Structure 1
Amino acid sequence: MSEFGMLLQKAGYSVTEAAKHLDYSEGHIYRWIRGDERPRDSVTKLLELEIKGLCNADSSTDFTFVDLFAGIGGLRKAMEGVGGRCVYTSEWDKYAQQTYLANFPDNRPIAGDIREEIASTIPSHDVLVAGFPCQPFSIAGVSKKNAMGRAHGFDDETQGTLFFDVLRVLKHHRPAAFLLENVKNLKSHDKGKTFEVMQRKLREELGYTLHTQVIDAAHFVPQHRQRIAMVGFRDAAAFSFEDLVIPERGLKRMRDILHPEDGTEKPESHYTIGKNAVVSDKYTLSDKLWGYLQGYAAKHKAAGNGFGFGLVDGDSISRTLSARYYKDGSEILVSQGKAKNPRRLTPRECARLMGYEDSLKIPVSDTQAYKQFGNSVAVPVFAEVARVMRPHILSAVGELSAMISHNN
């Protein structure tokens, strides 16, 4: 990358934004990035001053990142916690956008469907983070092309999947590092073929080192939630998941996230009411629904299946909170004693279960909130991953800054 390209990356401008800001055509910008032409000194000085201003404005900002498939910003919180500055966000769900904007008011406008975004319009960045949904890859389709003698390259095995969009952004911008998140079963999906394709694309075709680890959130929050973290570095780095500080599993229990209902917290919205902030009766299951869930569980138990509801109390670690929680809440029902039907968690309790602080604003309906928290990452898990990534990111960014200083 040319000196100008490195300056543009540090300033956080996309090609389109740079062309508009500097009053030159995008063609000029691309030629300067490639090093085919050299920009005027006044252009270089302007970018250098802006970079200096950014550093002075927020000394805690040490690197830039983009937040793809952002949801409500769980991975952003992890990266901001270790000195990152978000320069671009993509999230297609309008309700998730509402929650994201309510909690990150300084964010630029959120881009919608990443499939419709051109990679060159995304600002350059040091780190890419993405909690991308897993879709199956058409391995058979590639085999068919081979049989027909048709070539297939970078795009073919993943085209049409959302992982493809992660790849094309990585390929265009070549950030120093990435952090990807997905379900534990990604490794075993389609007998391991899906993960095999992912690894080959990231390692062999893009040249990144790749580290993977399945982590159970129950070490950080009172919820059994296994997710895979995928960390990659463009250049050699001594990153290791062995450097994670993993608390003992079970130190956090449901009592740590449930409303105390004793007046020690203020009532909030319609979640809790009265001077003691007791949970609203709207979260208690109706006799009909509770009867149905008990019958359903008994039926499957008799058949030797493990399906059924998950009943918790203050001493429990819950099952995995899912995006379908809004339907009946069956995976995590809070016991209210034998005299009363169990209840669902409130959205605030779901936020706590995912590791969000109570300062998180929840501007959407309960239904949308349940979906959002069920789809979210457990923030403390990825905050710890980001902590271990930080020195290696800074090393890569520092080398880039040194190159710029040397060229100047």
Structure 2
Amino acid sequence: MQLNKQISIIDFEDKKFRIKTKESGIDTEPAFTHYLHNNKNGVSKYYKLDAIQHVKNLIEYKFPEETISTRVAENTLKYLISQNQTIPFPSPEKPKFKFIDLFAGIGGFRLAFQNLGGKCVFTSEWDKYSQQTYYSNFGEVPFGDITRKRTKDYIPDDFDILCAGFPCQAFSIAGKRGGFEDTRGTLFFDVAEIIKKKKPKAIFLENVKGLRNHDKGKTLATILNVLREDLGYYIPEPQIINAKEFGVPQNRERIFIVGFRKDLGIAEFEYPKPIKKKVTLKNILETETVSVKYYLSNTYIDTLRKHKARHESKGNGFGYEIIPDNGTANAVVCGGMGRERNLVYDFRLKDFTPVTNIKGEVNKEGIRKMTPREWARLQGFPDSYKIVVSDAQAYKQFGNSVAVPAIQATGKKIIDKLKTL
């Protein structure tokens, strides 16, 4: 067949073509998308074979009557590279450095480091809905389970910075030191294993504030010992960074851990200072009337008020909260009272007819949840960032994300330090 004439028929972005390699069960789509975005920087060799296989699988799926050779698949891959891909957040044309994005979520680290002139050469994120959002905004499907050797084997050499917002887990510390081996079975072990093998110039790890006191401080002590002693990195004292001090109206504290390979001779590092610009909730609220679906029912508001009163009677501060327009939001989180701790007043609604199944009538007090777009803004994502999943998934994704401005401010300090070498 005349492939170039037929190729336009194939929608390579269609979800139904996300198929697995017949021989091994390996999902080749991440390799395919990573190849397309790294064909000019020498990194493509890590993805080429599986990228060709992916194209071969797709064509055979679309045209089952055809026998597709590897050469035809490779020529098709070259043809696809020649086509202009339009994505919301492309990499810089002339990147200044390379980084990898582990536990990538929806790309908060990537957005920050691309803004600083960086090129992402590998991404890993296991959640399928986050992968959809990531692909829609960056044109790459993240690789999946980073604990698998097969996934780690895709990671290229010679990147400059490793970024990871890894989950917090307790270690079963067998010895007194709390070293590399004691972290086995945790996701930090996989991060440490990659650092040990690839030896990037710098690392940037992010975690919840509670990591500092997790397991009576043993978890953080072990992490720092592994990075400093076992892996040979200069690690200044980690710092708690609050997103509200970097241009977003959200009280979100996270621990940042920055490090540099010791042989580079970097012996000091200063985390970014808070910016002077103060923003409030009104800076991120929707400018148009939002759907009635975001307004709470009278029944639910009554439940929230009773719940809060019970806790207040016991001296607890738990419960819903309505943030004033000139206030600062609580940390957006994906579970518990995440949305109810960040309610707002909005009196613009005129039609109170429910569009979802609710108990009772829609309240006329103007009390509503923030929209997913408002949560995106609280995390520093621009309005051009695509939200392609359900509201429930969007809240989860932004609640789990990093605050982009805080990451970018710290990332700039890392880049400035590397520039001095």
Interval of TM-score (by shorter of Structure 1 and Structure 2): 0.7 to 0.9
- Aligned equivalents of 2:50, 2:364: Cα separation in 1: 67
SS in 2 for 1:204: helix
Shift of 1:58: 5.6
**Paired position in structure 2 for 1:278:** 289
Shift of 1:11: 4.6
Mapping 1:241-260, distance limit 5 Å? 241-242=270-271, 244-248=272-276, 251-260=278-287
TM-score calculated relative to the size of structure 1: 0.74
**Paired position in structure 1 for 2:80:** none
**Paired position in structure 1 for 2:29:** none
Equivalenced residue count is 323
Q: Does 1:215 align with 2:241?
A: yes
- Aligned equivalents of 2:215, 2:275: Cα separation in 1: 33
Contact 1:92 1:111 in 2 (8 A): yes
Gaps spanning 5+ residues in structure 1: where? 1-9, 22-56, 147-151, 261-276, 397-408
Contact 1:91 1:111 in 2 (8 A): yes
- Aligned equivalents of 2:323, 2:234: Cα separation in 1: 41
Contact 2:121 2:156 in 1 (8 A): yes
Q: Give the superposed CA RMSD.
A: 2.6
**Paired position in structure 2 for 1:75:** 109
- Aligned equivalents of 1:295, 1:238: Cα separation in 2: 55
| Alignment match of 1:289 (pick from 300, 308, 325) | 300
Q: Does 1:323 align with 2:323?
A: no
> What does the per-residue CA deviation read over 1:223-275, in whole Å, with 9 as the maximum and x for residues that have no partner?
10000111110022255225x241248x1100000012xxxxxxxxxxxxxxx
Mapping 1:5-404, distance limit 5 Å? 11-13=41-43, 16-17=46-47, 60-105=94-139, 107=140, 109-118=141-150, 119-124=152-157, 125-139=159-173, 142-143=174-175, 155-211=180-236, 212-219=238-245, 220-234=247-261, 235-237=264-266, 239-242=268-271, 244-248=272-276, 251-260=278-287, 277-324=288-335, 329-336=339-346, 339-396=364-421
CA 1:328 to 1:378, structure 2 compared with 1: closer, same or farther past 3 Å? closer
Shift of 1:393: 2.7
CA 1:20 to 1:97, structure 2 compared with 1: closer, same or farther past 3 Å? closer
- Aligned equivalents of 1:18, 1:344: Cα separation in 2: 46
SS in 2 for 1:85: strand
Partner AA of 2:340 in structure 1: S
- Aligned equivalents of 1:20, 1:330: Cα separation in 2: 45
Partner AA of 2:290 in structure 1: V
SS in 2 for 1:76: helix
- Percentage of identical aligned residues: 43
Shift of 1:12: 4.9
Contact 1:14 1:120 in 2 (8 A): no
Contact 2:92 2:119 in 1 (8 A): no
CA 1:259 to 1:20, structure 2 compared with 1: closer, same or farther past 3 Å? closer
Shift of 1:59: 5.7
Contact 1:12 1:123 in 2 (8 A): no
Partner AA of 2:343 in structure 1: L
Which structure's relative contact order is higher, taking Cα pairs within 8 Å and 6+ residues apart? 1
Partner AA of 1:317 in structure 2: T
Shift of 1:336: 3.5
- Aligned equivalents of 1:311, 1:329: Cα separation in 2: 10
- Aligned equivalents of 1:279, 1:384: Cα separation in 2: 32
- Aligned equivalents of 2:292, 2:285: Cα separation in 1: 15
Shift of 1:62: 1.0
SS in 1 for 2:100: strand
CA 1:67 to 1:330, structure 2 compared with 1: closer, same or farther past 3 Å? same
CA 1:20 to 1:258, structure 2 compared with 1: closer, same or farther past 3 Å? closer
> What does the per-residue CA deviation read over 1:70-125, in whole Å, with 9 as the maximum and x for residues that have no partner?
000000111111111000000000000111111101x3x42001111443431121
Shift of 1:20: 9.2
- Aligned equivalents of 1:231, 1:162: Cα separation in 2: 18
Partner AA of 2:252 in structure 1: R
